[in-house]
Chain A
Amino acid sequence: MQRVTHMFNAFLQVVSKELKGAFRHPSDILNPIWFFVIVVTLFPLAIGSDPALLKRIAPGIIWVAALLAALLSFERLFKDDFIDGTLEQLMLTPFPLAWLVCAKVFAHWLLTGLPVLLVSPLLALFLALDTETYTALFLTLLIGTPILSLLGAIGVALTVGLRKGGILLSLIMLPLSIPILIFSTMAIDAAAYGQSYLGLLALLAAMLVAAITLAPFAIAASLRVSVS
């Protein structure tokens, strides 16, 4: 029992350390969000502002922009900890590395996934989404962005020791995130046509469960490769 409380304490401590570190450099959190909003803004400017057209392509735009913004934010997930030796210290703790990695990914989601959710109403206004479609968008982002964080963490963990890991990270991670993109945009499309999208949400949720159970081990194994 005591061990369980210790483990939860460790989890909370890692999360709070991450949050404190991030709030000391607020631009690290804000920049990817700005990027997300700017990319979404570019599309109406490039394609035209016809509301019917925007409504049709909105799910794709928002999800691709969310993916790109996520890519930008991944670097800081392990990079600083890798450079200053915190990762090695995490490996030396008596707690399983996979568990601590969960805490780090959760903190990362709080700092990058959650803000995307918070600015999403603004984008709904920009892209002329109705309430039903927006609800679907919000739900897919809510379920989908944690999967992105977990997948991205695998990529970062594999590339953190490399000098030019950034582009490699996108090469590794983008193909793996295709199912999330497909199911999310399908769900939003279904909502836009007034159909039920619960099944698609359930599939996304199933992927989230699979990612939460499997990804931490892959991340931990990758970190051990990168740190050794």
Chain B
Amino acid sequence: MWKWLHPYAKPEKSYQLAGTLLPWFVAASVVTFVVGTVWGLLFAPADYQQGDSFRIIYIHVPAALMAMGAYSTMAVAAFVALVWQIKLAEMSVAATAPVGAVFTFIALLTGAAWGKPMWGAWWVWDARLTSELILLFVYLGIIALYNAFSDKVLAGRAAAILTLVGVVNLPIIHYSVVWWNTLHQGATISKFAKPSMAPAMLWPLIIMIVAFAAFLGTLTLMRFRNEILARESHRPWVILLIENSNKQYLQEHK
């Protein structure tokens, strides 16, 4: 049943698959980003309490969601890497981590910018902000560990182990921080049955979430392709690929 998956354990096949998927992700993220930002930032109605400054959620919420989404994909990839010993899954962990870290950073930054007018301070020790900050620390730990090894095969495996350790810990961290202190407004759209948000505001948000997801996919695929090329640089197919692109370049610039 899973046989169709097997060829993709080969780096070359995976590289090609990532290459064919990439344009679709680019197109999807460009379209949804344009629609979502214009709708959300210009046309969505202003909030009756928070005024126009609520619009920052169109960046903040998707970034925060995708920061966690990136970690979940890393966790799945790390599990696959360690259980079935698939090298490419390790590469995808390494490829996703910096993207996830940047998304986390964006979520923190926009959260701070929103907190200034709403709570009167750039930073408050609120539960979700704090657990997002700790998520950033965990990301940075994984990236630092990956970079510390000179042998990238070992680096990938170590990063995968640390990712799994983190995934066991993150819910514990999250709930410990929630009990520790809470100030953040409750989740606005997690309850899809009856969202506590007007549809006119909700739709641009959903579009922006899709945009960020597609953008996450785009960046990850690009980094994944680079990672494969860097690690397999001595393989004939990579050398052939480089030669061909060189030839093409020379022909175009004759």
Contacts and interface: CB of A to CB of B under 8 A. Distances in A.
Best-surrounded residue of A159, A161, A162, A176 (most CB of chain B within 10 A): A176
A182 B149 contact: no
Contact of B134 (A162, A175, A221): A175
Nearest to B148: A162
A228 B161 CA distance: 15
Contacts of A154: 161-162, 165
B158 A225 contact: yes
A185 B176 CA distance: 12
Task: Give the interface SS of chain B, mostly helix, strand, loop or mixed.
Answer: helix
Task: Give the interface SS of chain A, mostly helix, strand, loop or mixed.
Answer: helix
Interface string A66-96: 0000000000000000000000000000000
B164 interface: yes
Contacts of B165: 154, 176, 218
Contacts, number: 70
A137 B93 CA distance: 40
Nearest to A179: B176
Interface string A131-172: 000000000000000000000001000110110110010011
A159 to B, nearest CB: 7
Contacts of B140: 171
A64 interface: no
A178 interface: yes
B138 interface: yes
A222 interface: yes
A222 B161 contact: yes
Given A179-B169, A222-B161, A171 B180 contact: no
A199 to B, nearest CB: 10
A162 B144 contact: no
Given A182-B176, A183-B176, A214 B168 contact: yes
Given A158-B161, A159-B145, A221-B82, A175 B180 contact: no
A207 interface: yes
Given A162-B149, A176-B165, A182-B177, A207 B82 contact: no
A165 B166 CA distance: 19
B172 interface: yes
A22 interface: no
Contact of A158 (B82, B134, B158, B172): B158
A218 B161 contact: yes
A162 B161 CA distance: 16
Contacts of B157: 225
A186 interface: yes
A143 B208 CA distance: 45
B17 interface: no
B169 A159 contact: no
Given A175-B137, A176-B169, A225-B154, A158 B162 contact: yes
Interface string B132-146: 001001101100110
Contacts of A183: 176
B106 interface: no
Contact of A172 (B145, B172, B177): B145
Interface string A184-227: 00100000000000000000000100100010001001100110
Given A158-B145, A168-B148, A221 B161 contact: yes
Nearest to B171: A179
B66 to A, nearest CB: 20
B173 interface: yes
B144 A171 contact: yes
Contacts of B149: 161-162
A218 B164 contact: yes
Contacts of A158: 145, 158, 161-162
Nearest to A165: B148
7 contacts: A158-B145, A175-B138, A176-B169, A183-B176, A218-B165, A226-B154, A228-B154
Given A165-B148, A172-B145, A174-B137, 12 more contacts: A158-B158, A164-B148, A168-B145, A172-B141, A172-B144, A176-B169, A178-B173, A178-B176, A179-B169, A221-B161, A225-B158, A228-B154
Interface of B: 82, 134, 137-138, 140-141, 144-145, 148-149, 154, 157-158, 161-162, 164-166, 168-169, 172-173, 176-177, 179-180
Among all A-B residue pairs, the 5 with the closest Cβ atoms: A179-B176, A175-B137, A172-B141, A182-B176, A225-B157
